[in-house]
Structure 1
């Protein structure tokens, strides 16, 4: 895949003394991960992450560009200095590759849950019934690794999210492991099959955060942290608009919105 670079400011801005202002490059993932981020028809980086990072750049007076790269190459580009920042990142990711490097990580930008989506009739069946687990190439279902190593759960490989969803819907796998918000968004808005698969909270799942990272510029990571705190209302409004943390801390995680609304109405009717 050929890296692409996009900037929200024209390259070559002049500083006060007439010198060329520095342009900072943020390495981003070249995949569709809606509603967090995706690559548009013309190759432009879009979504919640784009709007948030653009807002930070305007707030801090920085000239930034986005370099779209294959997911499995981003960390190496951060380490060799060809990009200045990486998003998303997390201190727990690619530990062996990072090898104790002094990478600076921001405060959490977004929380996420990775878990298993199953057909509604299989929800609550338990882990022993999860014998075939569909997983997108490049993903590692850590919470199931012991079962996989023991031969109790077989991994069914998928080239992408769409193929993985099809495998689970066609019963070629007993469940699909992915980011719950992203998989639910895909079912509701792209596949147009809301509720065809649902998150099973009784199965093992993991929580984590997306962070901004940098090896070269820890001081700008600190500036980004201040931005998150100082502009919190705007950041939260962006999260709400894109629903990147939709119902993460509630019993409704992974349900489509119409069902959430229905269940809430039922609860209100049952309340004395």
Structure 2
């Protein structure tokens, strides 16, 4: 079930007895996007994103409220001033829908890779062999637009990651397009099917970064950038803790950790 409640955070106030100013952060209401973010049984926003934003609020003496909305609602809410910030965001997303808006983006908070996960037996096949892709509603499979427009690839949409993964595991489609770290985390830790689908780096995929955006508070976006710089070690520790960039820049992207450890040990043994 999609969360509808407002998640509240009371941040540390730097001046004793003073009331911190409150800002609303619009966040995506995807039920599962761990380890970046997710919602617990009480509908509370959790995960790496929450911890980074909480730390920023505490560091700056602010109070943040987290408001879950759909991707379409988030942009509309940002435009109307219903929310003060949007996370995650990117200057490369929804450019047509953002026309006429003045948006201020933070530095990159965390990097990501979106790509296609396939059954192990299909890994390494040609793009010509991809005829049907599983996709979560609202996502755009970058690098596949031409083939989709020409009818060479058909899209099968799902409401969320769980449904999409089920579809791909049954091999009703040739692969599932999603955030590679998130899909792998789900397969390894939630579905308990490690390795059932694997990232295919030979197929088109996209690298990018998550940013914090605002149309009304450029000075706070600048303050957030200072926080990322001054607290770089703290943010890096959170990345390691949540494994949001796990093997992102290595040949092991999308592999479960035990297999990475095994391959590294084997490589070490084979070195002269």
Normalised TM-score (structure 1) = 0.95
- Per the TM alignment, residue 228 of structure 1 is displaced from its structure 2 partner at its CA by 0.3
Mapping of 1:18-57 within 5 angstroms? 21-31=20-30, 32-57=32-57
8 Å Cα contact 2:3-2:29 kept in structure 1: no
- Tell me, in whole angstroms, the C-alpha distance in 1 between the residues paired with 2:164 and 2:249: 25
Distance 1:79 1:3, change over 3 A: farther
8 Å Cα contact 1:4-1:66 kept in structure 2: no
The secondary structure found in structure 1 opposite 2:143 is helix
The secondary structure found in structure 1 opposite 2:24 is strand
- Per the TM alignment, residue 95 of structure 1 is displaced from its structure 2 partner at its CA by 1.4
Aligned twin of 1:230: 230
Distance 1:252 1:105, change over 3 A: same
8 Å Cα contact 1:111-1:210 kept in structure 2: yes
8 Å Cα contact 1:120-1:197 kept in structure 2: yes
Q: Which runs of 4+ in 1 moved over 3 A?
A: 13-18
8 Å Cα contact 2:77-2:83 kept in structure 1: yes
8 Å Cα contact 2:11-2:57 kept in structure 1: no
The alignment status of 1:264 with 2:264, answered yes or no, reads: yes
Mapping of 1:189-208 within 5 angstroms? 189-208=189-208
Distance 1:111 1:10, change over 3 A: closer
Query: 91-100 or 111-120, which moves further after superposition?
Result: 91-100
- Tell me, in whole angstroms, the C-alpha distance in 2 between the residues paired with 1:29 and 1:96: 19
- Tell me, in whole angstroms, the C-alpha distance in 1 between the residues paired with 2:131 and 2:3: 38
8 Å Cα contact 2:20-2:61 kept in structure 1: no
- Per the TM alignment, residue 14 of structure 1 is displaced from its structure 2 partner at its CA by 11
Aligned twin of 2:5: 4
Aligned twin of 2:252: 252
8 Å Cα contact 2:3-2:39 kept in structure 1: no
Aligned twin of 2:93: 93
Unaligned stretches of 5+ residues in structure 1: none
- Tell me, in whole angstroms, the C-alpha distance in 2 between the residues paired with 1:156 and 1:21: 46
Alignment length (residue pairs):
270
- Per the TM alignment, residue 21 of structure 1 is displaced from its structure 2 partner at its CA by 4.1
- Per the TM alignment, residue 164 of structure 1 is displaced from its structure 2 partner at its CA by 1.1
Mapping of 1:42-191 within 5 angstroms? 42-191=42-191
The Cα RMSD (Å) is 1.9
